[in-house]
Structure 1
Amino acid sequence: MSKLGDLGARLYRGEVGYDFVGKRFIWYGVSILITITAIAALAVQGLNMGIEFKGGAVFTTPKTAVSEPKAREFAEEASGHDAIVQELGTGGLRIQISGVDTDAATDVKKKLAADLKVDEAGINADLVGPSWGEQIANKAWTGLGIFMVLVVVYLAIAFEWRMAVAALIALIHDLTITVGIYSLVGFEVTPGTVIGLLTILGYSLYDTVVVFDGLKEGSKDITKQTRFTYSEIANRSINGTLVRSINTTVVALLPVAALLFIGGGLLDAGMLNDISLSLFVGLAAGAYSSIFIATPLVVDLKEREPAMKALKKRVLAKRASAAAKGESADGEDTVVDEPQVVAQGRQPGRRR
């Protein structure tokens, strides 16, 4: 068995563990800092919305000898607006100009034909009106809202409302970070971006539900025992799925990274950036939030209950009594990242 596989097995059995829950305020601080940065970027720079959302025109030209930079210059002179130019495999160009209406598009098409030295009839023009773009944006927000509501309802029924609230906060956290990155790098937001966002939210939710399922199973009849507190059982649930989360995240990120850095970067296939950036950032943020945000939030909410407070007092009292007698307390584990036991003195696991 590999070292990573052996570590995963030991984490699952509770023989070793990292104190994720005990250090949750560190993770909260990191997330708040990143989120504030993302919100500030959105407030200052905003998003570079594609023509599907704000309206405009896309001109597809036949083969031309004019370079992309020169074609961009011609397009901006002809329209008076910023233009995005991409070279096609046919040798033609895809020229995207925002803010161009139907009447102006005809004049722009004539000027482009003259400047690019191509037949005007060979230039294909697709127009997107501002009202249609607004409808697309509203539908995107509606779809996102419905997704969030369904997530909360499902988790509240399948688990409990505290887990539903924690998962919703984690999803908003992932969404805010991803959108903030789009604002910082200036990538265009298109329907492909929305698809990518919905995809990564689903992935983040899957990772979170795996941990929640382990937590639900491990906390059955929790008040009938005095070995572990709720936070310790939650910490064990995270550790039990840690290697699995790392493996699935790395495997998912590799092809997405190829799309983003090779397809969108080296090969200059700019259209791949629409979805690949949202997938790359969202997958990483989702893996982070499922481990460092969602479950610790559940612990904070759950341990406010009188029953959990009473359980914690009983567990600590039992351990104090055992320590006074020189006995070994149940549930003591070795911690692999520092020479102290985790989560209120011990993490649930096997006795040594």
Structure 2
Amino acid sequence: MSKLGDLGAKLYRGEVGYDFVGKRFVWYGVSILITITAIVALAVQGLNMGIEFKGGAVFTTPKTAVSVAKATEDAEKASGHDAIVQELGTGGLRIQISGLDTDAAADVKKELAGALKVTEADINADLVGPSWGSQIANKAWTGLGVFMVLVVIYLAIAFEWRMAVAALVALIHDLTITVGIYALVGFEVTPGTVIGLLTILGYSLYDTVVVFDSLKEQTKDITKQTRYTYGELANKSINGTLVRSINTTVVALLPVAGLLFIGGGVLGAGMLNDISLSLFVGLAAGAYSSIFIATPLVVDLKEREPAMKALRKRVEAKRAAVAAKGGDPEEAYAEDGETPEVIAQGRADRATGRRR
């Protein structure tokens, strides 16, 4: 068995673990800081919306010897608007001009053909009117809102409302961070970006549901025992699914990193940038939030219940009673009615580093 697999088995059995829940206020603070940074970036720099949302034109040229800098200068001179020029893998150029009136596109196309020394017929022009772009933006927001509502309803039915609220907070956390990164780096927001955002929200929800499912199983009939509090069982659930979450996230991030750094960075493919950045940032943020935000938040909400408060008191009272008698500490973690032999075996397991 590999070292990572061995660690995963130990985490699952509870032989080793990290107190994620106990240190939750540290993670809350980190998340709040990152979220505030993202919101400030959005407020100060804003999003670089693509022409699909604000209207304009995209001209795709055949192979040309004209440099990107020269083509940018020619496009801005011909249109009177700012232009974004990318070199394609074929040697051609992708010239994007936002805010360009569709009526003026034909004249701009003609001037570009002369400046770039290509025939006008070989330049492909895609035109987007501002009203159409507004409709696309509204549909994107509507789709995102419907997704969020369906997620909350499903989780409230499959688990409970506290888990639905925690998952919603985690999703908003992931979305805010990803959009904030877009504002910081200045990447264009296109329909591809929206597709990427919806995709990473699905991945984030998957990781969260895996932990929630484990937590639901661990806390079944929780009030009938005095071994663990709700928070401790939640921590066991996170540790038990930790390696699985890491494995699925890394496996998903590797091909996305290829899209972002090779497809977008080396080949200069614009659409790959739009999708891959949102996927890369969102997948990482989703894995983080499912472990450090969603489940600890469920604990905070759940332990407000009278039944969970009473359970904590019984657990603490049992441990205090064992400590006062100078008894075996393992007795505090024993199920009611366990024999001395079972308790002794638990002590032996812990002494040899194989805690139950």
Q: TM-score, normalised by structure 1?
A: 0.93
1:198-247: CA deviation from partner (whole Å, max 9, x where unpaired): 00000000000000001101111111111110000000000000011111
Partner of 1:16, secondary structure, is coil
2:136 corresponds to = 136
Verify the 8 A CA contact 2:177 2:285 in the aligned structure 1: yes
Residues paired across the two proteins, number: 336
1:147-206: CA deviation from partner (whole Å, max 9, x where unpaired): 000000000000000000000000000000000000000001111110100000000000
CA shift, 1:92, in A, is 2.7
Confirm or deny that 1:331 pairs with 2:333. yes
- Cα distance in 2 for partners of 1:164, 1:51 equals 36
CA shift, 1:326, in A, is 1.5
Which shows bigger deviation, 175-184 or 55-64? 55-64
2:260 corresponds to = 260
2:246 corresponds to = 246
- Cα distance in 2 for partners of 1:267, 1:307 equals 59
Partner of 1:57, secondary structure, is strand
Matched ranges for 1:66-105 at <5 A: 66-105=66-105
1:262-310: CA deviation from partner (whole Å, max 9, x where unpaired): 2211332233110000000000000000000000000000000011000
CA shift, 1:350, in A, is 8.0
2:21 corresponds to = 21
Q: TM-score, normalised by structure 2?
A: 0.92
Structure 1: give runs of 5+ residues left out of the alignment. Answer: 333-348
| Paired amino acid for 1:88 | L
- Cα distance in 1 for partners of 2:125, 2:16 equals 62
- Cα distance in 1 for partners of 2:96, 2:52 equals 11
2:193 corresponds to = 193
CA shift, 1:135, in A, is 0.5
CA shift, 1:91, in A, is 3.3
1:344 corresponds to = none
CA pair 267-63 structure 1, distance change in 2 beyond 3 A: closer
Which shows bigger deviation, 11-20 or 150-159? 11-20
| Paired amino acid for 2:172 | I
Higher relative contact order (CA 8 A, sep 6+): 1
Partner of 2:125, secondary structure, is strand
Matched ranges for 1:223-242 at <5 A: 223-242=223-242
- Cα distance in 1 for partners of 2:125, 2:282 equals 34
1:336 corresponds to = none
Confirm or deny that 1:112 pairs with 2:143. no
Partner of 2:268, secondary structure, is coil
- Cα distance in 2 for partners of 1:122, 1:239 equals 58
Percent identity of equivalent pairs: 88
